[in-house]
Amino acid sequence: MDLTPDQRRRGVEEAFASLRLDGLKPTAAALQDAEDYIEGRRTLDEIIADVVARHTAS
């Protein structure tokens, strides 16, 4: 199912709201990833793979 940019933005806003409720805030990298996702430049699978690579690099 393809989502519209507005639908992707609402999903991102909900996810970031959950972070803030837990006392956390998105990093600059997460904000950029979110914008790339919202604009359709990258898929969630691509972003997840990049996040895993960033945090597991030796």
pLDDT tens-place string over residues 1-58? 799 999 999 999 999 999 999 999 999 999 999 999 999 999 999 999 999 998 897 6
The pTM (predicted TM-score) of the whole model is: 0.86
pLDDT confidence of residue 55: 87
pLDDT at 32: 97
What pLDDT was estimated at residue 58?
64
Burial 20-57 (b: 16+ CB within 10 A, else e): eeeeeeeeeebeebbeebbeeebeeeebeeeeeeeeee
- Between CA 16 and CA 52 the distance in angstroms is 19
Chain centroid offset of residue 15 CA: 8
